[in-house]
Amino acid sequence: MTFNSYSFIFIFLPIFLFGVWGLQHIGLFTEKKQMLMKLWLIAMSAFFFVGYGKLSCFVFLGSIAFNLAFAMLAGMGRTKPDRLLKVIAIICNVILLCFFKYMSDGAMPVAISFYTFSQIMFIAELGNDEKQCGILDYLCYILFFPKVLQGPIADYKNINTGIEKLHEDVLDFENIAEGMRLFTLGLAKKVLLADVLGKAADFGYGILTTATAMDALIIAVSYSFQLYFDFSGYCDMAEGICRMLGMDLQINFDAPYRAENIAQFWDRWHISLTKFFTKYIYIPLGGSRRGKLRTYINIMVVFLISGIWHGNGWGFIVWGMMHGVLMVITRFYGKYKRNKETGTVGRTVGTILTFLYVNCAWVFFRAPKLSDAKVLLGKLIDPNAWSGLHITVKLAECFMVDEIWYIFKVTPISGWNKSNYICMWIIMIISAFVIFRGKTARKIAEEKKHPFLYGVLFVWGVVSLGGVSTFLYVNF
């Protein structure tokens, strides 16, 4: 089951929410109500995951059984587990992840990266909290469906604190309305923008040998925008679900393409993954405590691992190394630049250059082969390729949105020579505005304005669910 499906929106989510709200108003002792709430969350989260097939369920169940057995052996938080046992458990989790990512001939269980990282975080922190962890607490944390597919990689304490409060009578209509607005905005990002941009990117990477320079530019930017709206859309929907419950989910995405440098980018993109790598890889390697050279080496190691984690291929390694190199340069420059605030022009230039660099790195991330990435980037930097500004008609037609085209058909626009390109420019301009100038979905949802617009977006998004697509980060 996925957030952008009829079964989730009209069956699963309402049943889940009404179940939570109903349990909040049952007249039972606190402990019993709390237990029923946790059982409800576990049962519904397990049902949410079951639809992803036997392999995914079997591997997830095995991971849960192994880590739960270890946690029980270690006292489930009552005692400090032996450091060696924790290391062995963490290594076993890493081996499981590496096996399916690199040695299983493409048989990749859904969400294995995210729940494995959550398992590692749980084991690493076991015994650090004075409060005892129970079996239900662990299962709620690891199965919690708003985060299980692609994060955030939140720590046990963060999730458990919110879940423990669910039994309280916290039915708040303002929270529910804000959560619905946030969910709607996330759905619109995914269905109306990310999926349309994805069609163009997929088509474009199939015609690289015949693509023009303008085609190459549209293809590269389309994928960058697609990934942005796909991931931010998921984060908005997950936060929206939690907000309807009265919970605060850890922020995992914060307008990263507005970053002025690569360090800011990674403070805004997949925030929980950045924190995970920093805490469990960068700092144990020595962080910045062992001199400049060692710091730069540690940075490169982290980004190499990040590239390897994202996928099995040289393109992902190049992508990771590109980010690592720029991070080292930024870190080196930061030590010597003057201690004064950058002006508006400097911030704007920094944002543009950072986006261009990140966009080029995404080309290696998305291209099926390194040679394909070289072809696309070669067309962008070849002056001769820019002799004309032609865009392939079939590429432009990938941006066709039926609802917009129906409007065009009753106007003179449909008879224009370049009418096939209008949808493309509308989608690209709207996307660029939302990314670089618009308010974040979180801030818009808090403002309680334009209820009619939310209605339109929700209906439009639901109508467009016919071609349900998975979220990109589920594959990582």
Tens-digit pLDDT profile for residues 180-230: 999 999 999 999 999 999 999 999 999 998 889 999 999 999 999 999 999
> What percentage of the chain exceeds 70 in pLDDT?
92
pLDDT at 414: 64
Q: Indicate the residue type of 105.
A: D
| Cis? peptide before 146, omega within 30° of 0 | no
Output the tens digit of pLDDT for each of the chain's 476 residues.
Answer: 788 889 999 999 999 999 988 888 876 667 788 888 899 999 999 999 988 888 899 999 999 999 998 888 876 666 677 778 888 899 999 999 888 888 767 678 888 889 999 999 998 888 776 566 788 989 999 999 999 988 899 888 888 888 887 766 667 888 899 999 999 999 999 999 999 999 999 999 999 988 899 999 999 999 999 999 999 999 999 999 999 998 888 899 999 999 999 999 999 999 999 999 999 999 999 988 888 899 999 999 999 999 988 888 889 999 999 999 999 999 888 765 545 566 778 889 999 999 999 999 999 999 999 999 999 999 998 888 787 778 888 998 888 887 776 777 667 766 666 777 888 998 999 999 999 988 899 999 988 888 888 899 999 888 888 766 777 777 77
Least Cα distance to 266 among 334, 308, 326 occurs for 326
Helices (H) and strands (E) in the chain, counts: 23, 0
Q: Give me the pLDDT at residue 341, please.
A: 61
Q: What gap in Å lies between CA 48 and CA 45, rounded to an integer? A: 5
pLDDT in tens, 337-381: 545 566 778 889 999 999 999 999 999 999 999 999 999 999 998
Q: Please identify which residue in the block is written with the tokens 């049962």.
A: 43
pLDDT at residue number 322: 96
pTM of the model: 0.91
Provide the angle, in degrees to the nearest 10, between the axes of the packed helices 314-336 and 292-310. 150
What whole-number percentage of the chain has pLDDT above 90?
48
From the list 167, 113, 118, the residue with the least C-alpha distance to 138 is: 118
Q: What is the pLDDT of residues 403-422, one digit of tens each?
A: 776 777 667 766 666 777 88
- For 285, left (φ over 0), alpha (ψ -120 to 50), or beta? alpha
Indicate the SS3 state at residue 320.
helix
Assign 3-class secondary structure to 196-251. HHHHHHHHHCCCCCCCCHHHHHHHHHHHHHHHHHHHHHHHHHHHHHHHHHCCCCCC
End-to-end CA distance of the chain: 17
Give Cβ neighbours of residue 464 (< 8 Å, ≥ 6 apart): 191, 192, 195
Model pLDDT, residue 125: 84
Residue 289 CB neighbours (<10 A):
10
Tell me how far apart the alpha carbons of residues 259 and 330 are, in angstroms, rounded to a whole number.
Answer: 13
Token look-up 């001939």 returns: 105
Contact, 74 vs 128, CB < 8 A? no
Distance between CA 33 and CA 463 in Å, rounded?
Answer: 38
